[in-house]
């Protein structure tokens, strides 16, 4: 874990003054204060992260009653489990008696969750099943002491959670991108591989890196050889437009080339971002692999390769890059002020057989390699940003446009969270 010196006299007044200073310096990277302050970090968790829709897992990863996985965010743990009735639910991993965690293993199968401290027993739907000797406690109501619920939505097999029980309708947002997203039949897809990368940097630096491709040409040579996104629109437009003109017909999917963006401040409700666009690969390449050649059977009902890839965002911190033959999901979760978990999930067609129809190494090579490069550049970015001598520079108006949307949402949300 990376440790940094932080101010001992931090306050909401100081945070407010830093936010005001950002308004006087638009279109620039933000002050180091926002990456270094423990007070800022606590505000982010309570008022941004835990109010947003976060990708948890794919429904196929907990296929049976009693199957569960833990999702770790900051210092908190959330259980996502399939109940005896087959429904997927999420709940806080905190006993309602004295707060001990009722589940320690990252994943598994349980008939019940049992507190290791005083033995309270919970069903897999979170309800309290037994609490020892509570019959002598006056007015004790078992129904009022189940594990605290977390809002949970399953959309095309993708499971999202939100700790704000009053959160807006994520499914309604995602319905606006259902044609292109539905092309990949994710509900019946198979998780070919998943890997978590611990990055020694503040979560915002990790997300910022994903949201811009200004660095792609210099930092990701293998990626840049295949993807037109590393170029300005004026350079890539002829290739991309040629792909878009044929995409629906070649893939056999009406609407696969649809564009829609309602993210961050433009989202219909807080944290319910939804975005899609299709961008082109350079001629001679059809998918995101080491050589740009196919690595798995075509997804869903896709008929052929169109030379394009679907770009998606679902919530503030989950993104997908969907090739015709496999999909790659990115999820970012803060673990501490200076640590971020970057989770990658690779999907292939549900009936694809490993070793026959695909090899995991071939499917994962490009984005595992690219993520290792990202780790390298992000940690060095973090080292510079945490210097007292760092002076934020201007954003690129095209390459870093989405990044600016994220920063605007971030600053606005942080300011709204401050006490009056």
Decide if pLDDT at 233 tops 70.
Answer: yes
What's 88's domain CATH number?
Answer: 2.102.10.10
Q: Given phi > 0 = left and psi -120 to 50 = alpha, else beta, which region is 189?
A: beta
- Among residues 154, 179, 201, the one where a domain terminates is 154
Whether residues 237 and 378 share a domain: the answer is yes
> Is residue 258 in some structural domain?
yes
Considering only CA atoms, which of 62, 60, 75, 50 is closest in space to residue 150? 50
Decide if pLDDT at 142 tops 90.
Answer: no
Q: What is the pLDDT of residues 15-68, one digit of tens each?
A: 999 999 999 999 999 999 999 999 999 999 999 999 999 999 999 999 999 999
DSSP-H helix ranges across 332-400: 360-385
**pTM attached to this predicted model:** 0.96
Residues 6+ apart with CB under 8 A from 139: none
Whether residues 327 and 365 share a domain: the answer is yes
- Give the pLDDT mean for 211-228: 96
Residues 6+ apart with CB under 8 A from 123: 83, 84, 112, 113, 129
Determine the pLDDT at residue 49.
98
Whether residues 220 and 303 share a domain: the answer is yes
Whether residues 187 and 302 share a domain: the answer is yes
Identify the bridge partners of residue 278 per DSSP, sorted by sequence position: 310
Q: Determine the structural domain holding residue 75 and report its residue range.
A: 54-154
- Label residue 1 by pLDDT band (50, 70, 90): low
Decide if pLDDT at 368 tops 90.
Answer: yes
Determine the pLDDT at residue 388.
84
Decide if pLDDT at 2 tops 80.
Answer: no
> Is residue 420 in some structural domain?
no
How far apart are the C-alpha atoms of 390 and 384, rounded to whole Å?
7
- Among residues 108, 125, 154, the one where a domain terminates is 154
> Is residue 221 in some structural domain?
yes
- How many structural domains are present in the chain? 2
> Is residue 74 in some structural domain?
yes
């Amino acid at each position: 874990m990376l440790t940094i010196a932080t101010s001992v006299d931090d306050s909401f007044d100081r945070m407010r003054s830093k936010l005001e200073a950002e308004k006087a310096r638009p279109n620039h990277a933000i002050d180091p204060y926002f990456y270094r302050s423990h007070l800022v970090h606590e505000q982010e968790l309570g008022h941004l992260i835990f109010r947003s829709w976060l990708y948890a897992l794919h429904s196929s990863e907990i296929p049976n009653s009693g199957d569960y996985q833990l999702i770790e965010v900051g210092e908190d743990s959330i259980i996502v489990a399939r109940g005896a009735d087959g429904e997927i639910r999420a709940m806080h991993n905190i006993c309602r008696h004295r707060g001990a965690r009722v589940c320690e293993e990252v994943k598994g199968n349980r008939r019940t969750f049992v507190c290791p401290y005083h033995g309270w027993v919970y069903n897999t739907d979170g309800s309290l099943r037994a609490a020892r000797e509570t019959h002598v406690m006056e007015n004790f109501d078992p129904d009022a002491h189940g594990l605290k619920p977390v809002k949970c939505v399953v959309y095309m097999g993708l499971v999202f959670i939100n700790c704000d029980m009053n959160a807006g309708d994520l499914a309604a947002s995602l319905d606006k991108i259902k044609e292109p997203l539905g092309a990949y039949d994710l509900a019946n897809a198979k998780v070919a591989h998943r890997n978590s990368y611990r990055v020694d940097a503040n979560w915002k630096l990790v997300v910022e890196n994903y949201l811009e491709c200004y660095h792609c040409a210099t930092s990701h040579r293998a990626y840049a050889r295949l993807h037109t996104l590393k170029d300005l629109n004026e350079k890539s437009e002829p290739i991309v437009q040629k792909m878009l003109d044929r995409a629906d017909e070649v893939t056999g999917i009406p609407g696969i080339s649809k564009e829609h963006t309602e993210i961050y401040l433009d989202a219909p409700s807080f944290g319910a971002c939804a975005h899609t666009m299709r961008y082109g690969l350079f001629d001679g390449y059809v998918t995101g692999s080491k050589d740009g050649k196919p690595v798995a059977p075509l997804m869903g009902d896709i008929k052929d390769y169109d030379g394009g890839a679907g770009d998606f965002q679902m919530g503030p911190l989950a993104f997908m890059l969907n090739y015709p033959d496999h999909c790659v999901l990115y999820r970012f979760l803060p673990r501490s002020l200076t640590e971020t978990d970057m989770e990658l999930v690779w999907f292939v067609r549900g009936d694809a057989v490993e070793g026959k129809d695909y090899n995991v190494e071939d499917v994962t090579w490009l984005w595992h390699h690219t993520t290792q490069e990202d780790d390298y550049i992000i940690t060095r970015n973090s080292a510079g940003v945490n210097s007292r001598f760092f002076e934020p520079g201007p954003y690129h108006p095209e390459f870093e446009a989405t990044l600016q949307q994220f920063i605007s949402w971030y600053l606005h949300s942080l300011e709204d969270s401050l006490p009056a």
